[in-house]
Amino acid sequence: MSTPSAVPDVGAARVVMTGADITRALTRISHEILESNRGPDGLVILGIPTRGVTLAERIGALLSQFSGTPVPTGALDVTMYRDDLHRQPTRTPRPTQIPPGGIDGRTVVLVDDVLFSGRSIRSALDALQDIGRPAAVRLAILVDRGHRELPIRPDFVGKNLPSSRDERVNVRVAEVDGAEEVTIES
């Protein structure tokens, strides 16, 4: 007597990072930022809405905790700088919040949840130009899934996750989604 073979659920989401994995990744990224910048001086952390802002706030808190010095954190909305506004529905723009002291002459670390084509980051670079002139711009990403369409590479990565273009990577954070995980689904 044979048992029927299990047929995988094509649309099922598979957890690739738990809440603990996310915390470890953000802790490592924070240490790497401090090491590469030789401390907290001159750092500004800017998250890209929606989940990038939450991740930036967490990284900013960790940097402040590790260094004993407050690290300014804010949000950089890139909605109106996107080059695909004509092809997909636009979400409501969120406020850009630049910390006091601005970004001129400072090292700005852009934070986002998933790096895919690189187009959101290109939009963020355009938005930064309208705000000021940083000394340097660095990129921190929780999940790098490849498939770049532009020559953009992250400086700090939580997890490299090779994926097909047909798969979807979902980052959920407790502050926004009530859950804490990264999943991938077909």
How confident is the model over 163-173, as pLDDT tens digits? 999 999 999 99
- What's the per-residue H, E or C state across the chain? CCCCCCCCCCCCCEEEEEHHHHHHHHHHHHHHHHHHHCCCCCEEEEECCCHHHHHHHHHHHHHHHHHCCCCCEEECCCHHHCCCCCCCCCCCCCCCECCCCCCCCCEEEEEEEEECCCHHHHHHHHHHHHHCCCCEEEEEEEEECCCCCCCCCCCEEEEECCCCCCCEEEEECHHHHCCCEEEEEC
What is the predicted pLDDT for the residue at 19?
97
Rounded to two decimals, the pTM is 0.90
What pLDDT is stored for residue 5 in this prediction?
A: 44
In the CATH scheme, what is the code of domain 16-83+93-185? 3.40.50.2020
Domain ranges of the chain: 16-83+93-185
pLDDT band with cut points at 50, 70 and 90 for residue 3 = very low
Mean pLDDT over all residues of the chain? 91
pLDDT band at 87 (very low <50, low <70, confident <90, very high): low
Whether 114 has a pLDDT exceeding 50, the answer reads yes
pLDDT tops 50 at residue 4: no
pLDDT by residue (tens digit) across 138-149?
999 999 998 888
